[in-house]
Homo-oligomer: A and B are copies of this chain.
């Protein structure tokens, strides 16, 4: 078996069954047929998955490492996730915890084209944490979204992303939204000298996402958001490859991360495919992630990997101004803080609330 591809699962099992269960997963994720019926030596020695380690973890949970053949993946991200978890995702006793990915595949996927430092550079930040907010609610027409964006920008925020619910709806078509928001931000830039970046959210099939990327490009936008688990990982990676000059923010929608370890999915896999920033639910907000999970996501996004740029950890999901110092203590400066609803709740004080958010980050950065 060629070295390098391995899936790491956490399996719910008792000690007497785990070896059989591990072997069954190894077969399911490789040849998916009775091994006794395989005649071909190459397949038996090189393609059939091999259980390389079983270690007990917490009560009733085992970590199982299975070596798979890199040849089964080719160079396709969709096929990678198919080989790592395709059929096994249907079993509810298994979580995909991590994977070892061969160096050659890592190189082909290529990771972030801009990454942490690229996102800082775009907004003229040096070492501080970045700030981000979100345009919502759904249902607002482009002019009202542009008015919100203008206020965020006047408050000095670095990035302004679409709510991931904003797609290409009749009340706010993608092109009309970009056409309204991009010039509004340029006007603010001319007025106050600070350029906030608008990050529109792409949706639809690959053709549709390409058309949207082209529209965004036409209006001078250089950062885009995609939900890779909705677009399909292969299509996300195709957009990254075809647009090396654009930065990509990965959104966690449909990640169903209870069944795939969030640190692996967001911090490793999305990064590997080119996410310059990965949005994930912060602990203590609307989602149930623990501080340990969040730290693991951020660590994976930033981990030293030969030749690969770090991705910007972007905790979000019910964050507030009051939590900024605590979050910065927790994540350090290599982070982009995303506060949406809590700023929008300030209504007519939106510019001031945004400015307070920005100031809190800058103060902490210099402290």
Contacts and interface: CB of A to CB of B under 8 A. Distances in A.
A76 interface: yes
Interface stretch (A98-106, A112-120, A122-130, A132-140): A132-140
Interface string A66-103: 00010111101011011101110111110000000000
A101 to B, nearest CB: 16
Interface residues of A, number: 86
Contacts of A255: 89-90
Interface stretch (A52-60, A200-208, A355-363): A200-208
Contacts of A76: 167-168, 203-205, 208
A243 interface: no
Given A82-B167, A82-B253, A206 B207 contact: yes
Contacts of A37: 341, 344-347
Interface in A250-284: 252-260, 281
A103 to B, nearest CB: 17
B205 A87 contact: no
Contacts of A347: 37, 39
This chain: copies in complex: 2
A16 interface: no
B139 A40 contact: yes
A254 B32 contact: no
Interface string A323-362: 0000000000000000011101111000000000000000
Given A36-B345, A46-B139, A238-B207, A288 B92 contact: yes
Interface string A12-54: 0000000000001000101111101111101100111000000
A237 interface: yes
Contact of A90 (B30, B73, B138, B281): B281
A232 interface: yes
Contacts of A235: 205-206, 231-232, 235
Interface in A191-218: 203-208
A140 B342 CA distance: 56
A170 interface: yes
Interface of A: 24, 28, 30-34, 36-40, 42-43, 46-48, 69, 71-74, 76, 78-79, 81-83, 85-87, 89-93, 136-140, 144, 163-165, 167-171, 203-208, 227, 230-235, 237-238, 252-260, 281, 286-288, 317, 340-342, 344-347
